[in-house]
Amino acid sequence: MVVNLPWTTPNFEELVALAKKRLQKEFLLEFKSAISLTNREEMTQMILEDLKEGGYSIEKIELLRKRFVPNIIGKYFKKGNEILILSEKGENQDIIIHEYLHEIQICESNREGIADYITYKLTGNRNYIDQYTLNNWQELEKVHGFKMIKERLLTAGDCEEF
């Protein structure tokens, strides 16, 4: 069977629609990224191209290819306003929500932690957030509130500085 990359499925499209609805209600913003499923080979190729265009050295790209890229299950590509989700993991609303958060995210430093925490808060699923990050953001929420965390996502600067 030949599959054109990337692709989608009816179940995936339903999950995307639900995720968009939930996020639009929460943020009052429209989410416009093209989103689809892909395989590990295509995902790796796209990430490596993105790193090259980002000006990373060959040595840094190779290090990331070995240590970081194999763990990526979803990725927002700002340049093309596109989200790719790894097919064997992607028919999952948590990953879709997490990647859509990157579409609207403005804060830069420590960007994964805030997206992980907001995803956790919206879905209740702890599978995609480590305990350290969860504890850190719960403390920040106690001090600043969840509304401020969402606002921080949409503000320039370090995502953890309020």
Q: What is the pLDDT of residue 109?
A: 85
CB 128 within 8 A of CB 116: yes
At 2-11, the pLDDT tens digits run 455 678 889 9
Cα(45)–Cα(75) distance, integer angstroms: 12
Report pLDDT digits (tens) over 96-111.
999 999 999 999 988 9
Handedness of CA 112, 113, 116, 121 (dihedral sign): negative
Number of neighbours of residue 86 by Cβ within 10 angstroms: 19
Q: What is the phi/psi pair of residue 9, to 5°?
A: -135, 160
Entry pTM? 0.91
User: Does 10 sit behind a cis peptide bond, omega within 30 degrees of 0 on the bond before it?
Assistant: no
